[in-house]
Each structure stands twice: as structure tokens, then as C-alpha cells.
């Protein structure tokens, strides 16, 4: 069944892949962007197969009525637009307020729209946990209750935006239902060629931003699987509540070893090892010299190994995840292709 879908923040990394998946499935799509007439920032969307069924419209997260005019004739909504930056000058102004206000604006508009049947919210594992407990297996019942405007403020903005969405549904009881997708670190090829905040992790690893291998373990998921999860959640009869969306863990040491063995030894991958008890102590001390967002992240994640159960998303949405290593290597190749990482030197 094909429908008319509104997706906010359509030019973003995950959103662009979701637009592509929606068009490939035959849906008609309205995408909100800040400047629809900016040909440079929207060219990757207009070049998609099926783009004759794509309409781009202007919307600003901080405008309370930003989405009112765009939801009247749509069947489903995917709300993806939200600030994603680890370091900001003012966490309340730059992260929390636009994330929560944008969510409220979208849900209020949907509540007044006659045709909307389901809203899918792009949340994050940041709304599930702030400091992973290695002894605890995370599920959809877990919530991040530790972040604040000073401790992992981006995490706080995601948790508060999702909480606001569920409170709205509980209080207003709209005729449509809400589903939330909570991905971990999203990697994969970029349709626009720009560096997403999550792919920047690999850029930094290969371009020398990390002086040593640290005891960091990340949960990864391919952007194309995240897009598929959103599209399936729109119409899957069993879809309900929240969905953790993670393919698997890799430590920094494992990622570095994979890249070094796969043709990226020429890059500035870290060689020293600080992934030990002493290394964690030194890294935590060094974190105080970093920007506030980075420092907060390091202090809460060093030595932590996230554990999670993704059975619900695999069952309800019939989702199978791509292999993590393959996703990482395709991301690295894409970063080289777009000039964000130096290619291997040609043999003489």
C-alpha cells in the first residue's frame, strides 16, 4: 500500500536514505527542509529515483506552526528533524529547546490533521542510556535519567524530546499512534557527500584526531537499515512503542584493526594503546582539556560496553541488520570517495 508521507529534516543523513526508501516503495513524499530553493543542499534529494513524487517545503523547528500547512493531506509522518551536535555554546538554546519545540510543533499539527494514521519519531539510544552499564541488557523499557544540560546535553535533548512525545500522546490521545526508533551510532554511505556527526567518528579515527586507542565500545547500525526500520514502522500492523535499533558492538581497537587490515593503513589511525585501567584514568584526566561535550562523553563512556536486546525490532518490523564490519568499510570507502579521508597512495 502506497501512501503520502511527510518527513521532517529531509536533507539529513538518515532522512535522505529514508526518503530514498519511501520513493523506492512507491510512496508520495513531502519533505521539510530549511531552504527548499537551495539547490546545493537539496540536489541529492532531487536526484533520487522517483523524485517526481517528492515535494520539498520550508519548515523551521522553532516555529510553532511550522508543520501545520504540510500535514493536512498526508497519511503518515516521520519526524526526524532535531539538532545533532556534541558541542554547542548554549545547550538549552541550541539543543534542548529546538528538539522539544520541534517535536511539540509536529505532534500538535498532526493532532489537527484529518488523515494522519501514524507518526514515527526518530529518537536515539541517547534517550535510552547515558552511561551504559555493562552488567545490564538494555531494552525498550530503559530510559536515560542521568543526562542534563551540563552532562551529555545532546543525550538530554533526545531523551526530553522523546519523553515530550509520549506525554503528548498520553495527554491528548490523538487518533493516530506513535512509534519511536532508537538507533545507536548510524554509519553508512552519505547521499549528499557531507559528513554526518556519526560518520565523523571514522573521519576522526582516520585523520589523526585520536592520539591513541581508547577503551571505547560503540554500537553501530547501518543508515540503510535505520531507513528501512522507519519505512516499515509506518504501516506494520504490529508496530508499537519504542524500538532499539543496533546491529552490533565494535570496540575502538576492533575498528582500527579492521580499517588497518582493509587498505587504510596509510591513514593516521591511532597506534598507541590506552585501552586499559591506567589508560582510562589518563584519558579521563585528559578529557578536561577537551570541549565540554566531548569531555562529558569520554567520562561517561570509557570502559563501558553497551549491551542491548533488539529482538523486538527484528520481530515486529521483520528487520535484518547488515554486517557491522561491512557497513564500516562501506562508510570508509564513501569518505574517501568524497574527499574526507585521503586515498591510498598509488604504487610507483
Write out pLDDT tens, residues 196-218: 989 999 999 999 998 899 999 99
Query: Could you tell me the pLDDT band of residue 348, with boundaries at 50, 70 and 90?
Result: low
The band of 269, judged by pLDDT with boundaries at 50, 70 and 90, is very high
Is residue 223 over pLDDT 90?
A: yes
Partners of residue 248 on adjacent β-strands? 220
Angle at 76 between CA 71 and CA 79, to 5 degrees: 75
Q: Is 158 designated active site?
A: yes
Q: What is the predicted pLDDT for the residue at 1?
A: 64
| Options 27, 79, 158, 230, the catalytic residue | 158
144's enclosing H/E stretch is none
The single-letter DSSP state of residue 128 is T
**Burial of 40: CB neighbours in 10 Å, binned 0-12, 13-18, 19+:** exposed
The percentage of residues in the chain with a pLDDT greater than 90, rounded to a whole number, is 72
User: How does 93-106 read in b/e, with b if 16+ C-beta sit within 10 Å?
Assistant: ebbbbbbbbbbbbb
Helix axes 97-112, 153-172, angle to 10 degrees: 20
Reference 224, options 22, 83, 40, 31; nearest CA is 22
Q: What is the mean pLDDT of residues 40-51?
A: 95
Give the per-residue pLDDT at 267: 96
Query: What's the mean pLDDT in 291-308?
Result: 82
Does 287 or 106 have the greater pLDDT score?
106
Exposure string for 272-288, b = 16+ CB within 10 A, e = fewer: eebbeeebbeebeeebe
Strand partners for 241: 179
Question: Is residue 83 pLDDT above 90, yes or no?
Answer: no
Least-confidence region, from 95-99, 327-331, 343-347:
343-347
* Cα separation, 114 vs 111, whole angstroms: 8
On the CB side of 306, how many CA atoms lie within 13 Å of its CA? 31
CA–CA gap between residue 328 and residue 201 (Å, rounded): 11
**pTM (2 decimals)?**
0.94
Angle at 8 between CA 180 and CA 155, to 5 degrees: 50
Closest CA to 224 of 28, 57, 14: 14
How far is 208 from 186, CA to CA, in rounded Å? 21
Q: Give tens-digit pLDDT for 149-175.
A: 988 888 999 999 999 999 999 999 999
> CA of 12: how far to CAs of 109, 192, 250, in Å?
22, 8, 25
CA angle 2-182-45, nearest 5°? Answer: 45
Distance separating alpha carbons of residues 143 and 126, to the nearest angstrom: 9
Indicate if the pLDDT at residue 103 is higher than 90. Answer: yes
Q: Whole-angstrom Cα distance, residue 148 to residue 157?
A: 8
> CA-based angle 332:337:340, to the nearest 5?
70
β 54-58/76-79 pair status? unpaired
CA distances from 138 to 47, 81, 197, 281, 322 (A): 39, 25, 24, 26, 21
Amino acid at each position: 500500500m502506497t501512501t503520502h508521507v511527510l518527513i521532517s529534516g529531509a536533507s539529513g543523513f538518515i532522512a535522505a536514505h529514508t526518503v530514498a526508501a519511501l520513493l523506492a516503495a512507491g510512496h508520495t513524499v513531502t519533505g521539510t527542509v530549511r531552504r527548499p530553493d537551495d539547490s546545493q543542499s537539496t540536489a541529492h534529494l532531487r536526484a533520487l529515483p522517483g523524485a517526481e513524487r517528492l515535494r520539498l517545503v520550508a519548515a523551521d523547528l522553532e516555529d510553532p506552526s511550522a508543520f501545520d500547512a504540510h500535514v493536512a493531506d498526508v497519511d503518515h509522518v516521520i519526524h526526524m528533524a532535531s539538532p545533532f551536535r556534541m558541542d554547542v555554546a548554549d545547550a538549552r538554546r541550541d539543543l534542548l529547546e529546538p528538539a522539544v519545540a520541534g517535536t511539540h510543533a509536529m505532534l500538535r499539527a498532526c493532532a489537527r490533521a484529518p488523515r494522519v494514521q501514524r507518526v514515527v519519531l526518530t529518537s536515539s539510544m541517547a534517550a535510552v542510556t547515558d552511561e551504559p552499564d555493562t552488567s545490564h541488557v538494555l531494552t525498550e523499557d530503559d530510559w536515560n535519567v542521568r543526562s542534563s544540560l551540563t552532562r551529555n546535553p545532546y543525550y538530554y535533548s533526545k531523551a526530553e524530546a522523546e519523553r515530550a512525545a509520549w506525554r503528548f500522546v498520553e495527554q491528548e490521545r490523538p487518533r493516530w499512534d506513535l512509534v519511536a526508533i532508537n538507533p545507536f551510532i548510524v554509519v553508512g554511505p552519505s547521499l549528499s557527500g557531507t559528513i554526518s556527526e556519526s560518520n565523523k567518528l571514522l573521519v576522526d579515527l582516520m585523520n589523526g584526531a585520536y592520539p591513541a586507542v581508547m577503551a571505547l565500545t560503540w554500537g553501530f547500525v547501518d543508515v540503510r537499515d535505520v531507513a528501512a526500520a522507519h519505512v516499515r514502522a509506518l504501516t506494520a500492523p504490529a508496530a508499537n512503542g519504542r524500538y532499539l535499533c543496533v546491529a552490533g558492538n565494535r570496540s575502538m581497537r576492533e575498528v582500527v584493526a579492521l580499517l588497518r587490515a582493509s587498505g587504510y593503513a596509510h591513514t593516521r589511525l591511532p597506534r598507541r594503546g590506552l585501552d586499559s585501567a591506567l589508560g582510562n584514568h589518563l584519558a579521563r584526566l585528559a578529557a578536561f582539556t577537551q570541549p565540554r561535550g566531548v569531555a562529558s562523553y569520554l567520562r561517561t563512556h570509557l570502559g563501558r560496553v553497551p549491551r542491548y536486546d533488539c529482538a523486538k525490532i527484528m520481530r515486529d518490523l521483520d528487520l535484518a541488520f547488515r554486517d557491522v564490519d561491512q557497513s564500516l568499510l562501506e562508510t570508509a570507502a564513501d569518505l574517501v570517495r568524497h574527499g574526507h579521508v585521503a586515498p591510498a597512495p598509488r604504487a610507483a
